[in-house]
Amino acid sequence: MKLYGGVETGGTWCVCALGTGPGDIRAREQFPTTCPEETLERVVEFFENHPPPEALGIGSFGPVDLDRNSPTWGQVTTTPKPGWQRTPVATVLRDRLNVAVVFDTDVNAAAVGEQRWGAGRGRASVCYLTVGTGIGAGLIINGKPVHGLVHPEVGHMRIPHDAHADPFGGNCPVHGDCWEGLASGRAIAERWGTLPTELPDNHPAWPLEADYLAQGILSIVCVASPHRVIAGGGVMQRPGLLPIVRQRLRDLVAGYLDTPLLGVGIDDYVVSPELGDDAGVLGAIALAQAANS
Amino acid sequence: MKLYGGVETGGTWCVCALGTGPGDIRAREQFPTTCPEETLERVVEFFENHPPPEALGIGSFGPVDLDRNSPTWGQVTTTPKPGWQRTPVATVLRDRLNVAVVFDTDVNAAAVGEQRWGAGRGRASVCYLTVGTGIGAGLIINGKPVHGLVHPEVGHMRIPHDAHADPFGGNCPVHGDCWEGLASGRAIAERWGTLPTELPDNHPAWPLEADYLAQGILSIVCVASPHRVIAGGGVMQRPGLLPIVRQRLRDLVAGYLDTPLLGVGIDDYVVSPELGDDAGVLGAIALAQAANS
């Protein structure tokens, strides 16, 4: 079996792996995503210390340039993450490791991983949503990850925000009360003055969060109509949150879309990931395999 | 040249055409969409009176069932349009005319038509948005129209609605103030008590409408990232509306997405259709051609 490399350069952690799939990871390492020089150097070291992969898949936090015809292909572009603006992630790794690379967003990689080996198996189209420090989504439609003009940036769409019920103005540095500004883990922490994990189960934070998440998922459903939404990230791991998100989404759809999956069967529509923290790096391996076959 | 048939069964008008493309329409007829029996009978008559097409493309108002593996494939499903619930449009025309049919939404057909012969030429992904009596969109991503679990139903997503600035509660019979309930032609008429065409250019209806349209287009951009948005429909024909929609969309993006097309170049991003009222029926012909080749 040919070995493939996967790298997920997430906003917080960077994960490297070498293998063929979830049951066959020959080596794996993860470390904090610090400055680009140090982080990419550690990625290079990881792969130099192991047998060379046939190809390398990279799933990067964004925004990134995914256009293969662009002179800035493979770069992180306008990120607020200090030091990472204009970092040519894909070309640095390609040139340092002398290997063919496939470059996508971290969330598209996670969508690919979950569709190949996890909660998206057998679904023709998939949305992988992550609600953590920020909010992002990867989409697979008509057989491939969605790139498009830029790539999906669901966190920055707007959703209804009743400033009387929720006077918090949102904390997106660019947009204020966009979806991410209202419903990310960082927004929850700033609104209530404490970490989400410290909020009790009966706190009003949770029905409010469920409403915001359902509103955003509804927009994803109304625009892209994925066959399944896989909702991951730290905030989604809160016990009890997913069921109330599903219920609220079902209420918002209100029977208009003629499918049980947005009605009585909604537990089978918005689901948890199955690959946990490895969805991104496994998806990166799957992207490398697909490009090489 | 082989001849193909196209049918657009729109919510108001039904258009039939026979030909090979916009420069070569051999016959064309349009009539009001009345009850399903009468409307489909007129479609059958049109094609019986002309040389038989190699294949027939159908673009139908929705919601429809696009799943070829479903027993209700080709039906209009939960529409509020009287008499049309559960109408098996595709199988009736296939069986009456003994011809292979391709079935899609009217807006997907329009997206296909504009991509092949109109404002979407050369764009890898396209959103065709129509703002008329209702609001709908067709999307082409990764080479094909987006179907998915159901199909895009952008009109029913939610957008910010400031009930102080706009006390009108929306007029979607299912969702109240969803996008369509706030921003369709029907919503404008009900909010201001007069037809949109009767409202003067300096009426506050227009900046409000531009805001709502930009909010919804932003969601489409953030979810699906199309290379171009083609904005058609009766409301979009209002002179002066498109420029303020673009400006508002640009303000909402606020430089976050690293592309001139959502900044200084936005006039080249949200554009008017080029095929006018024939986008749907021409797209239906293109769908039939593609399926037959």
B150 and A225 in contact by Cβ < 8 A?
yes
Residue bearing tokens 């949109």: B196
User: Which letter does DSSP use for residue B50 in this model?
Assistant: S
Bridge-based pairing state of the strands A24-32 and A144-145:
unpaired
Average model confidence (pLDDT) across chain A: 96
Q: Find the mean pLDDT for residues B144-155.
A: 95
Q: Counting runs of H as helices and runs of E as strands, what totals does chain A give?
A: 8, 10
* Closest residue to B141, CB basis, from A142, A150, A157: A142
Residue B81 has pLDDT above 90, yes or no: no
CA neighbor of A221 nearest in space, from B223, B250, B49, B51: B223
pLDDT at A81: 87
pLDDT at B78: 84
* Closest residue to A146, CB basis, from B137, B141, B257: B141
| C-alpha to C-alpha distances, B70 to B65, B76, B150, nearest whole angstrom | 8, 13, 11
B223 and A218 in contact by Cβ < 8 A?
no
B258 and A147 in contact by Cβ < 8 A?
no
Nearest residue on chain A to B128, alpha-carbon basis: A223
pLDDT at B277: 87
* Closest residue to A161, CB basis, from B141, B160, B174: B160
Nearest residue on chain A to B177, alpha-carbon basis: A160
Q: How many other C-beta atoms are found inside a 10 Å radius of the C-beta of residue A104?
A: 27
Residue A138 has pLDDT above 90, yes or no: yes
Query: Rounded to a whole number, what is the distance in Å from the CA of B29 to chain A's nearest CA?
Result: 32
Q: Find the mean pLDDT for residues A201-218.
A: 98
pLDDT at B79: 83
Query: pLDDT-derived band of residue B177, with 50, 70 and 90 as boundaries?
Result: very high
Query: pLDDT-derived band of residue B11, with 50, 70 and 90 as boundaries?
Result: confident
* Closest residue to B257, CB basis, from A147, A153, A253: A153
Please tell me the distance from the alpha carbon of residue B140 to that of residue B165, in angstroms, as a whole number: 35
Half-sphere exposure of B170 (CA within 13 A, CB side): 23
Mind spelling out the 3-state secondary structure of B198-210?
A: HCCCCCCHHHHHH
**Chain Cα centroid distance, residue B267:** 21
* Closest residue to A258, CB basis, from B150, B156, B261: B150
Q: Is the dihedral of CA B161, B165, B167, B173 positive or negative?
A: negative
A256 and B63 in contact by Cβ < 8 A?
yes
ipTM: 0.96
Residue A62 has pLDDT above 90, yes or no: no
B224 and A227 in contact by Cβ < 8 A?
no
Angle between helices B89-97 and B36-48 (to 10 degrees): 30
Q: Find the mean pLDDT for residues A58-86.
A: 93
B148 and A141 in contact by Cβ < 8 A?
yes
pLDDT in tens, B107-140: 999 999 999 999 999 999 999 999 999 999 999 9
Instruction: Among B258, B269, B270, pick the best mutation site for testing chain A contact (most A Cβ within 10 A).
Output: B258
Query: pLDDT-derived band of residue A140, with 50, 70 and 90 as boundaries?
Result: very high
Residue A80 has pLDDT above 90, yes or no: no
DSSP H or E stretch at residue B289: helix B279-292
Residue B3 has pLDDT above 90, yes or no: yes
Residue bearing tokens 């609600």: A131
Q: What SS3 state is found at A209?
A: helix
Which residues from A are below 8 Å from B148, CB to CB?
Answer: 124-125, 141, 224-227
Instruction: Among B256, B262, B269, B271, pick the best mutation site for testing chain A contact (most A Cβ within 10 A).
Output: B256
pLDDT at B292: 86
* Closest residue to A222, CB basis, from B152, B226, B262: B152
Instruction: Among B225, B268, B271, pick the best mutation site for testing chain A contact (most A Cβ within 10 A).
Output: B225
pLDDT at B279: 96
Q: Find the mean pLDDT for residues A33-58.
A: 98
Please tell me the distance from the alpha carbon of residue A155 to that of residue A158, in angstroms, as a whole number: 8
Q: What SS3 state is found at A195?
A: coil
Mind spelling out the 3-state secondary structure of B15-33?
A: EEEEEEECCEEEEEEEEEC
Residue A34 has pLDDT above 90, yes or no: yes
Q: Find the mean pLDDT for residues B78-84.
A: 88
| Interface A:B, Cβ pairs < 8 A | 167
Q: Find the mean pLDDT for residues B216-225.
A: 98
Please tell me the distance from the alpha carbon of residue B150 to that of residue A276, in angstroms, as a whole number: 28
Query: Rounded to a whole number, what is the distance in Å from the CA of B96 to chain A's nearest CA?
Result: 27
pTM above 0.95, yes or no: yes
Strand order in the sheet with B270-271: B144-145, B135-141, B126-131, B228-232, B270-271
Nearest residue on chain B to A150, alpha-carbon basis: B225
| C-alpha to C-alpha distances, B209 to B102, B185, B189, B196, B257, nearest whole angstrom | 35, 10, 12, 11, 24
What letters, b where the CB count within 10 A reaches 16 and e where it falls short, cover A258-280? bbebbeeebeebbbebbbeebbb
Query: Rounded to a whole number, what is the distance in Å from the CA of A210 to chain B's nearest CA?
Result: 15
Which residues from A are below 8 Å from B218, CB to CB?
Answer: 156-158
B150 and A175 in contact by Cβ < 8 A?
no
Query: Rounded to a whole number, what is the distance in Å from the CA of A76 to chain B's nearest CA?
Result: 10
Q: What SS3 state is found at B135?
A: strand
pLDDT at A273: 98
B224 and A148 in contact by Cβ < 8 A?
yes
Which residues from B are below 8 Å from A107, CB to CB?
Answer: none
Which residues from A are below 8 Å from B261, CB to CB?
Answer: 149
Q: What percent of chain A has pLDDT over 90?
A: 94
Which residues from B are below 8 Å from A87, CB to CB?
Answer: none
pLDDT at A79: 83
* Closest residue to A148, CB basis, from B125, B158, B258: B125
Nearest residue on chain B to A228, alpha-carbon basis: B149
Token pair listed for B286 = 């293109």
B157 and A219 in contact by Cβ < 8 A?
yes
Token pair listed for B167 = 């006390």
